[in-house]
Amino acid sequence: MLNNRLKIVADENIPALESMFGHDVLLQRVAGRSMTAEHIKDADVLLVRSITQVNEGLLEKATQLKMVGTATIGTDHIDQHYLADRGIPFFNAPGCNADAVVEYVLTVIHNTLFEKGMELAGLTVGIVGVGNVGGRLYERLRKLGINVLINDPPRERQGDEGFVNLETVLQQADILCLHTPLVKDGERPTYHLLAEKQLSTLKSGVLLINAGRGPVIDNDALLTFLEQRDDLTVVLDVWEDEPRLNPLLVARTQIATPHIAGYSYDGKLRGTHMLRCRFSEVFGVAQPEPLSSYLPQASVHQVHVTNDVAIHDLMNLVYDPYRDDRALRKTLFGDNQPQQFDLLRKNYPIRREFSSLEVLGVTDRSLANCLKNLGFTVNLA
């Protein structure tokens, strides 16, 4: 129990704050893009998502601020130097939605290959950025016996092994997945990591997936490249200049989604829960109930299948990327396209992770193992 009610100013799209923080705090919800210094001026805690730039301009009036949290993995919207100078503890939610992004990537890979009449076995997947997302993607693919090339210079410099250089990944990957943070300066910037020169080295027929940050690919260079080469298949969840999209680029993609790769309900709640745990540490109050007590059972939580089930069908039962793709394409040509982009994200339907689906009826052990390695809950018949 807190003696004085702390004031939390929070993005309107962070779920479950009411249930996780309880009635001992004063909670003010604000639309992330419209947050101003005036909203924050008497806040003790600020909780944001990726669309709020947290910098001196936003925080200059917030003299009693004791904690800033972002319910996201990415931190490129936060001026961490400024927070450190002011001695304000800052937390993100590392790994909160990593499984959601991995499952987005696996689902778009399986759907895309199915449409081309191809199989994943025998192809080489390249992963650039092998942290929470890239690392988990790597583990799931390795368990499936897929050949994976990984690139992560910062990890390599720390002494981790098994990495190859970026040029090798670009030249050899049949499927290329980008999972770096957006870093604009320093020794290893990722801004426009894939520009004209790098794109020109990609293998013919490659499937390129960006579910990291939009500006990691030079979007103008990508469009020019796609206008010249039609053998490339592109899936984009993130865009330069979000929420404003270039419809010409969208038209050249196989699957286009509004920055929702990480938007599983599990992942969003995990992000809130992580911040709630940090809040306990900062303010010395009791830890919350475990995350499982806040997560409802999935609406489709069991399915009976036979051994000839198509894996992409099972994936689509949990998450259908074409639903998000269709919704995004409908918004492209109105004056209010950026607002529609934000609305798709704000009103995103509840989507669960593979583990929420129990697969019954499989008798084939290798299929059962494959499904388990992909992340499903499997009960062998």
Ligand X SMILES: NC(=O)c1ccc[n+]([C@@H]2O[C@H](COP(=O)([O-])OP(=O)(O)OC[C@H]3O[C@@H](n4cnc5c(N)ncnc54)[C@H](O)[C@@H]3O)[C@@H](O)[C@H]2O)c1
Q: Write out the binding residues for NAD(+).
A: 152, 180, 237, 262
Annotated active-site residue 289? The verdict is no
> Of 242, 270, 312, 345, which one is the catalytic site residue?
242
Least CB distance to ligand X at residue 135 (A)? 7
Least CB distance to ligand X at residue 330 (A)? 20
Q: What is the rounded distance in angstroms from the CA atom of residue 347 to the CA atom of residue 349?
A: 6
Q: Does 74 bind ligand DEZ (CB under 6 A)?
A: yes
Q: Looking at residues 286 to 345 of the shown chain, list those that interact with ligand DEZ (rule: CB under 6 A).
A: 345
Q: What is the rounded distance in angstroms from the CA atom of residue 177 to the CA atom of residue 235?
A: 10
Angle between helices 311-318 and 98-116 (to 10 degrees): 140
Contact string (CB under 6 A) for ligand DEZ, positions 226-265, x = contact: ------------------------------------x---
Stretch that binds ligand X, among 41-49, 178-186, 287-295, 329-337 (CB under 6 A): 178-186
Among 50, 132, 233, 253, binds ligand DEZ (CB under 6 A): 50
Q: What is the rounded distance in angstroms from the CA atom of residue 310 to the CA atom of residue 312?
A: 6
Q: What is the rounded distance in angstroms from the CA atom of residue 272 to the CA atom of residue 170?
A: 36
Do the beta carbons of residue 282 and residue 88 sit within 8 Å? no
Annotated active-site residue 259? The verdict is yes
Q: Does 73 bind ligand DEZ (CB under 6 A)?
A: yes
Q: Does 51 bind ligand DEZ (CB under 6 A)?
A: yes
Residue 180 binds which one of ligand DEZ, ligand X, none, with CB within 5 to 8 A depending on kind? Answer: ligand X
- The SS3 of residue 83 is helix
Residue 52 binds which one of ligand DEZ, ligand X, none, with CB within 5 to 8 A depending on kind? Answer: none
The binding site consists of: 50, 72, 152, 180, 237, 262-263
Q: Does 108 bind ligand X (CB under 6 A)?
A: no
CA dihedral over 58, 63, 64, 67, signed as positive or negative: positive
Residue 51 binds which one of ligand DEZ, ligand X, none, with CB within 5 to 8 A depending on kind? Answer: ligand DEZ
Secondary structure of 204-261 in HEC code, one letter for each residue: CCCEEEECCCHHHECHHHHHHHHHHCCCCEEEECCCCCCCCCCHHHHHCCCEECCCCC
Among 71, 78, 101, 222, binds ligand X (CB under 6 A): 101
Least CB distance to ligand DEZ at residue 101 (A)? 8
First to last CA, the chain: 49
CA dihedral over 179, 181, 183, 186, signed as positive or negative: negative
For ligand X, the closer of residues 212 and 288 by Cβ is: 212
Residue 214 binds which one of ligand X, ligand DEZ, none, with CB within 5 to 8 A depending on kind? Answer: none
Q: Could you tell me where the DSSP H helices lie in 264-364?
A: 265-283, 311-318, 321-329, 337-346
> Of 49, 136, 179, 213, which one is the catalytic site residue?
213
User: Which amino acid is it at 17?
Assistant: L
Among 212, 243, 258, 288, binds ligand X (CB under 6 A): 212
Annotated active-site residue 242? The verdict is yes
Q: Which of 345, 309, 274, 379 is nearest to 16 (CA)?
A: 274
User: Which amino acid is it at 51?
Assistant: I
Give 78: exposed, middle or buried? Use CB within 10 Å, 0-12, 13-18, 19+: buried
Residues that bind ligand X (CB under 6 A): 73-74, 94-95, 97-98, 101, 128-134, 151-155, 179-183, 188, 190, 211-213, 237-238, 259, 261-262
Residues that bind ligand DEZ (CB under 6 A): 13, 49-51, 72-74, 97, 262, 345
Active-site amino acid positions: 213, 242, 259
